[in-house]
């Protein structure tokens, strides 16, 4: 996995003058769009504070003062005390204080007018969430290609490396999204995990997976199965086997939950079983790789097959 040189900063652009060391850069990611819903609020500030209660009122007031909330029609800054109007479309910029830097680079596997196929490194989130905005695969690609409409067609956990498929145009996006929704795309993962000599392979794991505790974990429970994974062994060493995993369904953390339930948690997994959540150790990634994608292109009928260039 290539580590970036110290001066590689992904064209992050100017930072807000208020605190250059603490804020997401101004042009780190394109703005988010919101159509204001009906409501009793008299000012824009009141309305956005009600819509995003986790962000403090003073933080929103500061964003207005710095021109970080715009009218979507002409991209002009809006005032905090402007009248609230249901139906008005606004643009706003997500910001995270002291966003962590991920020191690994993505790699473009394939690019055409409709699709991007990208090798995502370990630790890099696919899309903005929580403490990550600029340091996401989507944010990096939007800046790299200058395409704010770029969108991921599926997700990988931040801890998982490998192939992610992106749509470059809105017109064809629905056709490619249907591949995943209708399970017409073949996905193959590789994982390193402890041996399971008592089990026969290939193995099919079916179970019911639901949200667990803490909130970010999943768990197997009794009931009708809603998840299915085909599991094979492709290499056997004394202490570690290499498994090929083909998820038929796409439940959150499905592969990690299924391997742990079989008694072979994937190496480097800090969730299954749950480990103390200290800072990320870049030297110990989760040994799970989205290794290949295969599908028939819904627009031209060609068989498409993409393979990751990363290794576990």
User: What value does the mean pLDDT take over residues 141-153?
Assistant: 89
Q: Are strands 161-167 and 288-296 parallel, antiparallel or unpaired?
A: parallel
Half-sphere exposure for 260 (CA within 13 Å, toward CB): 19
Q: What is the DSSP letter of 20?
A: T
Query: What pTM value is reported for the model?
Result: 0.76
Q: Is 300 a known active-site residue?
A: no
- Arithmetic mean of pLDDT over the chain: 88
pLDDT tens per residue, range 275-312: 886 677 898 999 999 999 999 999 999 999 999 999 99
Which position among 11, 71, 157, 281 bears the catalytic label?
157
Distance in angstroms (rounded) separating the CA atoms of residues 76 and 192: 52
Is the pLDDT reported for residue 13 higher than 70? no
Region of residue 175 (left: phi > 0; alpha: psi -120 to 50; beta: else): alpha
Most confidently predicted of 48-52, 134-138, 162-166? 162-166
Q: Angle at Cα 160 formed by Cα 154 and Cα 165, nearest 5°?
A: 30
Which has the closest alpha carbon to 88: 68, 66, 67, 70? 70
Distance in angstroms (rounded) separating the CA atoms of residues 245 and 190: 6
Distance in angstroms (rounded) separating the CA atoms of residues 191 and 311: 10
Is the pLDDT reported for residue 127 higher than 70? yes
User: What is the pLDDT at residue 278?
Assistant: 64
Kindly indicate the confidence band of residue 18, based on its pLDDT and cuts at 50, 70 and 90: very low
Distance in angstroms (rounded) separating the CA atoms of residues 29 and 135: 9
pLDDT tens per residue, range 111-126: 999 999 999 999 999 9
Kindly indicate the confidence band of residue 55, based on its pLDDT and cuts at 50, 70 and 90: confident
User: What is the pLDDT at residue 68?
Assistant: 86
Is the pLDDT reported for residue 140 higher than 60? yes
User: What is the pLDDT at residue 135?
Assistant: 86
Percent over 90 (pLDDT), the chain: 71
> How many helices and strands in the chain, by DSSP H and E?
5, 15
Greater confidence (99 vs 145) lies with 145
User: What is the pLDDT at residue 11?
Assistant: 31
pLDDT tens per residue, range 76-108: 999 999 999 999 999 888 776 677 889 999 999
User: What is the pLDDT at residue 10?
Assistant: 32
Distance in angstroms (rounded) separating the CA atoms of residues 24 and 111: 28
pLDDT tens per residue, range 255-276: 999 999 999 999 999 999 998 8
User: What value does the mean pLDDT take over residues 2-12?
Assistant: 33
pLDDT tens per residue, range 60-78: 998 899 888 999 998 899 9
User: What is the pLDDT at residue 7?
Assistant: 29
Which has the closest alpha carbon to 153: 312, 306, 309? 306
User: What is the pLDDT at residue 196?
Assistant: 98
């Amino acid at each position: 996995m290539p580590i970036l040189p110290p001066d590689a900063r992904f064209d992050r652009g100017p930072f807000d003058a208020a605190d250059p060391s603490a804020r997401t850069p101004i042009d780190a990611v394109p703005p988010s769009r919101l159509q204001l819903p009906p409501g009793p609020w008299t000012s824009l500030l009141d309305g956005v504070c009600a819509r995003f209660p986790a962000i403090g009122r003073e933080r929103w007031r500061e964003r207005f003062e710095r021109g970080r909330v715009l009218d979507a029609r002409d991209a002009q800054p809006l005032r905090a005390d402007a009248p609230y109007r249901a139906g008005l479309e606004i643009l706003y910029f997500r910001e995270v204080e002291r966003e962590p830097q991920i020191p690994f680079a993505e790699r473009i596997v394939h690019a055409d007018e409709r699709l991007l196929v990208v090798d995502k490194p370990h630790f890099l989130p696919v899309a903005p969430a929580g403490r990550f905005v600029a340091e996401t695969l989507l944010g990096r690609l939007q800046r790299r290609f200058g395409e704010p409409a770029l969108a991921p067609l599926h997700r990988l956990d931040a801890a998982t490396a490998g192939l992610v498929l992106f749509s470059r145009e809105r017109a064809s996006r629905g056709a490619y999204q249907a591949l995943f929704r209708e399970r017409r795309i073949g996905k193959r993962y590789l994982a390193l995990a402890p041996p399971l000599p008592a089990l026969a392979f290939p193995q099919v794991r079916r179970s019911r997976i639901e949200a667990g505790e803490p909130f970010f974990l999943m768990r197997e429970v009794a009931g009708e199965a809603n998840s299915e994974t085909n599991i094979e062994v492709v290499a056997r060493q004394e202490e570690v086997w290499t498994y090929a995993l083909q998820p038929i369904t796409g439940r959150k953390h499905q592969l990690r939950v299924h391997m742990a339930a079989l008694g072979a948690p994937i190496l480097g997994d800090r969730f299954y079983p749950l480990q103390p959540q200290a800072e990320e150790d870049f030297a110990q990634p989760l040994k799970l790789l989205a290794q290949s994608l295969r599908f028939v292109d819904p627009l031209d009928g060609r068989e498409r097959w993409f393979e990751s260039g990363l290794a576990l």
